[in-house]
Structure 1
Amino acid sequence: MLRNWKEILLLAIPSLVSFASMTMTGTINLILVGQLGALIIAIVGVSNIIMYNAFALFSGIGHTVNYLVAQNHGAGDMKKGIQRTYIAMYMCLIFAVLIAVVGWVGADDILRWTGGSKELVETGDFYLELRFYAMSFGIVNFAFHGFLRGIGATKLSMVVSLLVNVPIIYLTYTLTFGHWGMPDLGLTGAGIAILIGEGLQTLICVFIFFIVLHKKYHTRSRIAFAIQWVEMKLLMIESGKLGIQEFSLSISMYIFTAFVARLGDHALAANEVALSIMSFGFMPAFAFGSTATILVGQHVGKGTPLKGRRVGTDTAILGSIFLILLGTVEFIFAKQITHLYTNDPEVYKLAAYLIQVSAFLQIFDGLLNFYAGGLRGIGDTTFLLRVSFVVSWFIFVPLAYVFIFVFHWGSMGAWLALYAFLMVFGIAVMVRFYRTDWTAVRLKEASH
């Protein structure tokens, strides 16, 4: 067990630092722009949800690269892993153009559909457009990171994240408020900072893949450039299932945000502050979930799936310990933390209350990520798609509507619905993980 735990931590901690740097960057950015007022906090929060939906729809490509490359790496067949990565990149480039076009022509309409006030739509229009452009780079970056994690290079993935997030914070500070000789662009400056950061990350990832990793994995091989249609079919099917799974979750979250928006801009701002702080709980959940995908996938590739089951369990145990410790800190210091975001007492007091209620309930989000990561490692993507659809549309959305508009429980009702949903989802995925016949698990191959 101790050997497993050491291996898990060596992979998970760099991923945790990577996710932490991204989360911290988002948090610092929200704190910075939050000084512009509750309306700006609400705009950034709504834009984050919209971007989450855009990302989720195409995130299946990165998740698929992650688990397939992990399996290929475990099987010692990185030639196939590189070919699959190339196919994923072709797909990402096509979708990147599509995302940019949507942002260019429809940013204002999307904000309007969310249900925010007229002032919110008019003020946040161009900021959201810039976020769409940044997301075009973001989906490419996510696929590159999926490859790096698939080969177990979580430290390299961490370094890339750290290199990029520092300039984003610097540019957000200087361009938003006009410090250090930069123009005072307000909210637009914050959007430009994210766009530059994502573009820079793409350049770094391309350099690493084609230059740094070429000697070991032959990433510039002519054979890798060729498209094998059976592999393209596999990538499209698996990416589609995982993408729709994530999109099902994210669109339900979008509707949840639209419900909260109807409670007023202050309630929406408090909701977004609370979600931003609770994202620190998502951080170890994502990190250990990603580690489960890597290790389980590699054991499947090696032909030792039962060891993958064991390491999946150990990953969930370690991840849960991290979440309990983090939840304790959030519970004790909720009010002090929320006060960092805004001086508006109506916003930070409500946000603190929401955090204290949910500080330990986030363990269910952890179970969801840990065991979903393990199921991705074995390629059980169909189940993840089905359960995601059921819990999102038959539990989360209906409960949120009833608690907010029928029982009139306000923001607290919204969050009770959110964590009831995560509880059911997390338990369902955990049960599936342990009821799987691991002796029958095999390497994922393309079918003709």
Structure 2
Amino acid sequence: MKIVKNLVSLFVFILAVVCLGGCSHLDKTDVKTVISTELNLLKNLDPDTAQKYVSYKELFPDATKETTLSREIKEVFSLFFQNFDYQILDIDVDENNKEAVAKVKLTTIDAETLASDYTKASLKAAVLKAAGSVSDDTEQTTDSLEDRYVILDDLLKQNQYETVEKECTLTLTNKGTSKPEWEIVRTHSLENDLVGGLMTYLSDSDLIPPEETLSIYLDTLKTMDSTQMGNYLGLESLLNTSDSAKNSIASALVEQVHKCLDYQITSCDIQSYNAIVTAEVTTFDSASILSDYQNSRDAYLSSVDAVIDGSSKRYEHSLELLLDSINNNTSTVTSSVTFHLFNDGVSWKLLENSEALGNAIFGTLSTTPVPADPDSAIEDDDAEQLTIASDNAATDSEETDIENPDDDIDASDNADEDNIDEESDESYYE
């Protein structure tokens, strides 16, 4: 009888364990189903689910200009999750069947590379924006959500990013009473994990080091037109002008920048939020251009043509000579330039004075060597050359008169004969 009681007790215990195990298994199945359903929607590029787990505002929490995003921009998330995948590794349900924790391996886009490309593109856009206005020569990252997502959209369409794998933890709560109703708890950490850590990378002010930051500034400078370069470098008087002749000179100088500007970063010293970057900057040889121009102008001013042309034509010809010297230049010069950068908590920024940077690139041609006023274009030395040229012209004229004195006498005799004939005619009619 005792043996029977023991067998009954053992049977009850086994039945209880089986029942509990069965319930636990059912709970895990329910949890797995919920996770799979939600993540499959992301995998299948459902934009509404993407917005459910990753708010478009969370990626750029510092954006001050809020806007209603267009449908096209919302689809950036679809591009982002196009290679998304997952694998459920383990599920653990608590005793009260109220909370579950799942370990999941996520396959996401290489968010670190994307964040790096975004930061570079954003800084380039900010530099070009600053160059578009004389009154705004500082680089402020765009504060519009629309603009930021346009940059992301362009990057995701133009580039093919690799994928990375990372394990993360999902927490679920059971909202049901009579039957399980599991729901994934949405947290900032989960949002960040689903986008491969993009939020963390975008908030890293050291993501782009000072050396790379300087490279972005200089590389962007090489893409600017004359108006942008004039605004950004504080050389408006040289590069931004309505004078057609000076516009040609400005375009020629900018073309020299495009052809010659190069650099090699040699050192970087970071002290807390400040950095000093030294670079060997190669640019066109402005001294060589001015020397060639000066020689050409001196030769011109010493000629008779300069006397004949007058001040206006001399001014125009001086501009033509300068343009020729710029276009024909092939000489470059390399010098060591020190740049100062500051980390404002968002990213590194160049603190170098724009005019100093302009002087480093344009050298002695930071201002035009040809004055705007034609009457002031001739200096004392030039005036002396013109005087000599004028004297030479007068001497040549006198020598011509002396060499042909008979011509003057013949002309005089002919004139006298004509007068006599006229008098005779008058007497005849009288």
TM-score (norm 2): 0.27
Structure whose CA Rg is larger = 2
* Bigger fraction of residues in helix: 1
Question: Which structure is higher in RCO with an 8 Å CA cutoff and minimum separation 6?
Answer: 1
* Bigger fraction of residues in strand: 2
